[in-house]
Amino acid sequence: MKLHSLKPAKGSLKSRKRIARGQGSGRGGTSTRGHNGAQSRSGYSRKAGFEGGQMPLQRRVPKFGFRSPNRIETKPINLDTLQKICDKSKIKEINPDFLIKNGLANKSDLIKVLGRGKLISKINVSSHYFSKSAIKSIEKVGGKIKKLIND
């Protein structure tokens, strides 16, 4: 066997369709594009979401909702989550750096402590925002809150 004698296996290669090479080829005339219309022309490209003239999905479905461009997005952390952290690590001071280190928030997140769940441990919590119920629960067990943002 030599390099010049190499050939692909029998039946492994198909010859390409020779389109638009006369009527005798069976693919002349319209060249497998049908008769007239946009898709028979050269350079045709369908717009994204085009459904052949049928009312497209994005226009059939109603619009809803609104997000204020001035909103302040916060990462919610509930009291039951803080209690689990206290049970696991016996820590008495919780701040954003600790939450970031433990994967509960990202560096760029503004953190808001919410009042879901029960807090038993006396802990000091530093956060950007607090709900009224969270403040009440933390102070009830003897903990302290520290707001990192003055609003």
113 neighbors 130 (Cβ within 8 angstroms):
yes
Is 39 inside any structural domain? no
List the domain range (segments joined by +) for residue 90. Answer: 74-147
Residue 111, domain CATH: 3.100.10.10
Is 143 inside any structural domain? yes
- The count of structural domains within the chain is 1
> Which of 105, 113, 120, 111 lies closest to 78, judged by CA?
113
Is 46 inside any structural domain? no
Is 115 inside any structural domain? yes
Phi, psi for residue 130 in degrees, rounded to 5: -135, 145
Residue 127: which H helix or E strand, with range? strand 124-127
pLDDT digits (tens, 9 = 90+) for 50-92: 998 999 999 999 999 999 999 999 999 999 999 999 988 888 8
pLDDT digits (tens, 9 = 90+) for 103-116: 999 999 999 999 99
**What gap in Å lies between CA 89 and CA 106, rounded to an integer?**
20
What stretches of the chain adopt beta strand conformation (E)? 74-78, 93-94, 110-114, 124-127, 129-130, 144-147
pLDDT of residue 151: 67
Is 80 inside any structural domain? yes
Is 112 inside any structural domain? yes
Is 17 inside any structural domain? no
**What gap in Å lies between CA 21 and CA 15, rounded to an integer?**
15
**What gap in Å lies between CA 22 and CA 47, rounded to an integer?**
32
Q: In the predicted model, is pLDDT for residue 128 greater than 70? A: yes
131 neighbors 111 (Cβ within 8 angstroms):
no
pLDDT digits (tens, 9 = 90+) for 10-43: 999 999 999 999 999 999 999 999 999 888 999 9
Is 142 inside any structural domain? yes
Q: Please state the pTM of the whole predicted model.
A: 0.59
**What gap in Å lies between CA 25 and CA 8, rounded to an integer?**
26
The two structure tokens encoding residue 143: 């903990």
> Which of 151, 67, 73, 82 lies closest to 119, judged by CA?
82
